[in-house]
Every structure is written in structure tokens, then in C-alpha cells.
């Protein structure tokens, strides 16, 4: 009896080890935790495209390696992408999910919103494209289901992955006007029509820098300083930026004034404000992809620019 019991215990132990081995070998299905949907290094990632019935968004690198990240809205509008977009982009290589649900039957696909869904996600790597279907928002909101087209596997994504793509025009556009900071230039020139005035910039500890007219360097111009402070702080809304090659309705804005920035003898940037055909004002700089619509109160900056340029 004792020998028979030992044999029985050995058989049971072997069966347990075999079961554990097969569970270990099998892809976890329905278990919480991190699951890799697309295993690829970040350096291989080239583009991420999201689209549904009304929205088409694409994030892509321009140039090899760590080139600038750009955002394409619709078929044509191309804008610089912001830091939020940079952080989002890296989450697609590798692409991870919170749960794997395996291959679902047609009835279950309909239940989770994946059957005939118009929402698509395409991740392009250096080695090729990978396509996914996303659950319809009415069903999948808060629980973004994703189906991998190569094998039909369904995954549950993190709820934080998709909202920025869905609202890219308001969340992923870079609103930066200049690639340099306020301490990076020592000369600026204001031009209105054929009239120009150049100012030297004198930094002051814990106080705003002074603007000194080049033709009167001993007399700080406080009016010019306050005016330029408003110019420097211009911040168009994300939705008001136009893309590369775009012009506002009615054609190219007519220049109202221009500010050019230098460090030593090197020109490092400029800001141009122009009046559009409809009377509104737009700005563009050395950094922006195109024109950006300014708020209505910008007309007061334009009116004062002539006084600053003329030294009145």
C-alpha cells in the first residue's frame, strides 16, 4: 500500500508539472497585466495612422533617425507635433495592451464593437505595416478593444492610448513660435513698411531685459519693451495653425510688421504678422509650418508697431 501511494503521488506530481508547462507555453488569454501586441524597437517606428469615419490622423518622423515629428490632419495639413505627441508616438513600438482576449467568434466581436468598425490603426515600421481594427466608440469607450489583423487576436488597450489621437487637432499641435529662447538674442529689428528700427537687448538681473535703440543706446525705450513683450507672448490656439504650404482663406496675408532677431552678426529668427483678406491677422515664424491665426485683440499690437518702428 505504501509503495502504491508513492507511485500515485509521483504520477500526480508529474501531471501537475505537465499542466504547468503547457500553461507557461500558452499565450496568456484574459489575464490582467502587460501584453505585447507589436514587438518592435522604437528606432524602427516610422508612422502611426489613426482613422475613423470622420477623422484621419498621422504621426510621422521627417528624416532619418531622430528627425522632427510631424502631425498630418486629414489628407493634406501637416503641422509640427508637440511634446505630448512625442511621448504618445513612442508608445506604439513596442505596442502594449493590458489584456489579451485571444481570437473571438463573430458574435463576440459584434458585442465588443469590432465587427465592421470603421476605426483603424496602422503602425508602420521599417520592416513594413501592421494593421489593427479598433472597437466602435459607442461600445468601446473606456474599454478600447483592438483586433490584430494578421491573426485575429483581440486585445484590451490602456484607456489613455487613443484619446490624444482622436483629438489630435486640439492636443498634438506644437504651439511653439520660436526655436530659441528670450535670452538667446541680443538685437532685434522692428520693420513696418519701409520704416525700421533696431534695438539692442540689455539683460538685467531679476528684471525684464531693456530695449535700447541703436541710435540712442543710453535711453531705454520702455514703450518698445512693453510692446515687444506682448509680441513675444503671442500664443495662437492649436486649432488656429495652418500646415505647410497652406494660406488663409483669400490668399497670402499682407505683411503688417516684422520682427527680426539676431545674436551677434547671426540672424536666428523672425516673426511676421500679416493681415488676411478678411481683415484678421496671422503670424508665422522661422519655426512654424505655416501661418497661424491670431486672436482679435492682436490688432492693438499691429497699431502700436508703427509707433515702435518710427520711434514715436
Predicted TM-score (pTM) of this structure: 0.82
Structure confidence at residue 41 (pLDDT): 94
- Predicted pLDDT at 30: 42
Residue 8 forms part of a structural domain = no
Q: Which of 188, 196, 214, 185 is nearest to 305 (CA)?
A: 196
Mean pLDDT of 287-291: 96
Q: What confidence tens digit (pLDDT) does each residue in 231-275 have?
A: 999 999 999 999 999 999 999 999 999 999 999 999 999 999 999
Neighbour count for residue 212 (Cβ, 10 Å) = 20
Q: Is residue 28 part of a domain?
A: no
Please, what is the Cα angle at 87 between 86 and 91, to 5 degrees?
A: 115
272 φ, ψ to 5°? -115, 130
Shared-domain flag, residues 128 and 256? no
Query: Does one domain contain both 42 and 72?
Result: yes
Whether residue 208 is found in the same domain as residue 245: yes
Q: Is 15 domain-assigned?
A: no
Say what the pLDDT of residue 143 is. 61
Among 171, 197, 227, the domain-final residue is 171
Q: Is 11 within a domain?
A: no
- Residue pair 259/268 in contact (Cβ under 8 Å)? The answer is no
Residue 18 in any domain: the answer is no
139 with 195, same domain: the answer is no
Per residue in 125-148, pLDDT tens? 999 999 999 998 765 455 689 999
CB atoms within 10 A of CB 108: 13
Same domain, 237 and 157: no
Quote the strand ranges of 63-138, DSSP E. Answer: 68-73, 77-80, 95-97, 99-103, 120-125, 128-134
180: its cell numbers: 530659441
Per-residue pLDDT at 80 exceeds 70: yes
Mean pLDDT of 77-106: 96
Q: What is the pLDDT of residue 63?
A: 73
Q: How do the residues of the chain divide into helix, strand and coil, expressed in percent and rounded to 5?
A: 25, 35, 40
Asked if 89 and 49 sit in the same domain, the reply is yes
Single out the residue in 143, 171, 199 at which a domain terminates. 171
- What one-character-per-residue DSSP string does 37-61 give? EE---GGGEEEEEEE-SS-EEEEEE
pLDDT of 157 above 80: yes
Residue 83 lies in a domain: yes
Residue 64: what pLDDT? 66
- Residues 140 and 195 grouped into a single domain: no
Other Cβ atoms closer than 10 A to 275: 16
| Whether residue 279 is found in the same domain as residue 194 | yes
Cα–Cα distance, 167 to 291 (Å, whole number): 21
pLDDT tens, position by position, 180-220: 999 999 999 999 999 999 999 998 877 889 999 999 999 99
Q: Are residues 223 and 280 in the same domain?
A: yes
Average pLDDT of the segment spanning 144-161: 95
Residue 27 lies in a domain: no
User: pLDDT: is 26 or 55 the higher one?
Assistant: 55
Q: Are residues 219 and 91 in the same domain?
A: no
290 pLDDT exceeds 50? yes
Q: 107, 138, 171 — which closes off a domain?
A: 171
- Domain interval for residue 289: 187-310
Angular region, 193: left φ>0, alpha ψ -120 to 50, beta rest: left
Give yes or no: residues 99 and 226 share one domain: no
Q: What pLDDT does 33 receive?
A: 64
Using left for φ > 0, alpha for ψ between -120 and 50, and beta otherwise, residue 81 falls in beta
Judgement on whether residues 107 and 235 belong to the same structural domain of the protein:
no
On whether residue 180 sits in a domain, the answer given is no
- Looking at the 3D structure of the chain, how many domains does it have? 2
Amino acid at each position: 500500500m505504501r509503495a502504491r501511494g508513492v507511485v500515485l503521488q509521483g504520477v500526480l506530481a508529474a501531471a501537475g508539472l505537465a499542466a504547468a508547462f503547457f500553461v507557461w507555453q500558452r499565450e496568456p488569454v484574459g489575464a490582467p497585466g502587460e501584453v505585447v501586441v507589436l514587438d518592435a524597437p522604437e528606432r524602427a517606428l516610422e508612422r502611426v495612422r489613426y482613422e475613423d469615419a470622420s477623422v484621419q490622423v498621422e504621426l510621422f518622423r521627417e528624416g532619418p533617425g531622430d528627425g522632427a515629428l510631424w502631425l498630418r490632419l486629414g489628407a493634406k495639413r501637416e503641422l509640427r507635433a508637440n511634446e505630448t505627441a512625442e511621448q504618445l508616438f513612442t508608445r506604439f513600438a513596442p505596442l502594449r495592451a493590458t489584456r489579451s482576449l485571444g481570437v473571438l467568434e463573430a458574435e463576440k466581436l459584434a458585442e465588443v464593437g469590432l465587427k465592421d468598425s470603421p476605426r483603424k490603426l496602422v503602425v508602420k515600421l521599417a520592416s513594413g505595416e501592421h494593421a489593427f481594427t479598433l472597437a466602435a466608440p459607442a461600445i468601446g469607450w473606456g474599454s478600447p478593444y483592438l483586433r490584430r489583423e494578421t491573426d485575429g487576436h483581440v486585445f484590451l488597450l490602456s484607456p489613455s492610448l487613443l484619446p490624444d489621437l482622436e483629438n489630435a487637432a486640439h492636443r498634438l499641435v506644437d504651439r511653439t513660435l520660436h526655436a530659441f529662447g528670450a535670452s538667446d538674442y541680443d538685437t532685434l529689428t522692428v520693420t513696418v513698411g519701409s520704416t525700421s528700427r533696431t534695438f539692442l537687448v540689455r539683460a538685467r538681473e531679476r528684471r525684464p531685459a531693456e530695449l535700447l535703440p541703436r541710435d540712442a543706446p543710453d535711453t531705454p525705450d520702455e514703450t518698445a519693451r512693453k510692446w515687444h513683450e506682448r509680441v513675444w507672448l503671442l500664443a495662437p490656439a492649436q486649432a488656429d495653425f495652418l500646415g505647410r504650404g497652406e494660406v488663409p482663406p483669400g490668399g497670402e496675408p499682407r505683411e503688417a510688421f516684422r520682427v527680426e532677431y539676431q545674436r551677434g552678426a547671426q540672424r536666428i529668427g523672425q516673426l511676421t504678422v500679416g493681415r488676411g483678406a478678411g481683415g484678421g491677422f496671422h503670424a508665422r515664424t522661422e519655426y512654424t509650418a505655416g501661418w497661424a491665426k491670431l486672436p482679435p485683440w492682436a490688432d492693438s499690437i499691429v497699431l502700436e508697431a508703427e509707433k515702435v518702428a518710427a520711434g514715436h
